[in-house]
Amino acid sequence: MKWTLPNVLTVLRLLAAPGVAIMFLYFTRPWADWFALILFVSAAITDWFDGYLARAWKQESKFGAMLDPIADKAMVVIALLVITGFSGMDPWILLPATVILFREVFVSGLREFLGATAGTLKVTKLAKWKTTAQMVALAILFAQGIFVHFFGMQSYGMDPALVADILEGREEDVLGLGWKYQGMIWTWWIGVSALWLAAILTLITGWDYFNKALPHLREEPR
């Protein structure tokens, strides 16, 4: 294995995956949310750069081809676990997360069974869009956690009627509760919608991969 820049970026992305969860062990919220968001987004950006640089500099390698999808899956799976946890097992997040995790386990099992044959089953453009949708959705949901915590901290101890008056414009919004509340609502809806879109794309690409694998799964005639 050669330590080219694309391979280094891939390894860093793999190491960043557990780092997202570790942020919530060593930092309090919302700092944990901030650090996890920055780490996740930075790692997601390297997903585009390592592939682009490997092709542009003709540094594509078997190591990179092997590790790249593993790093992507590790990022998505760990981020899903963290977000599902701090969302309180919200069914709107839990269901698409379950679909995504099921597909990843199923396809990984198929690839392991097929062995060398799995390399002949090409990755489609839709699969790349699926990964992009997953990462965008997760980044937005990390941002949503930031809005929730800032709004919660600054409205803590306030009379609910006063909070309602501030949000409806009847009282002066000194702390900026209005835009924090709107940010909390909009990032939730956009993040959850993007996560459901990612889950749908995940199902479609998983079914496509299964169909391509079917000829290799049929029993040989005796």
Number of domains in the chain: 1
Q: Residue 178's domain is classified under what CATH number?
A: 1.20.120
Question: Is 189 part of any domain?
Answer: yes
pLDDT one-digit tens code per residue, 35-55: 999 999 998 888 777 777 777
pTM value is 0.85
pLDDT one-digit tens code per residue, 91-128: 999 999 999 999 888 888 888 777 666 566 666 778 88
Question: Is 192 part of any domain?
Answer: yes
List the domain range (segments joined by +) for residue 154: 5-217
Question: Is 222 part of any domain?
Answer: no
pLDDT one-digit tens code per residue, 1-44: 677 777 788 888 888 889 999 998 888 888 888 999 999 999 88
DSSP letter for each residue of the chain: ----HHHHHHHHHHHHHHHHHHHHHHS-TTHHHHHHHHHHHHHHHHHHHHHHHHHHTT---HHHHHHHHHHHHHHHHHHHHHHHHHTTS-HHHHHHHHHHHHHHHHHHHHHHHHGGGGGGSPPPHHHHHHHHHHHHHHHHHHHHHHHHHHHHHHHTTS-HHHHHHHHTTSS--SS-HHHHHHHHHHHHHHHHHHHHHHHHHHHHHHHHHHHHHHHHHSPPP-
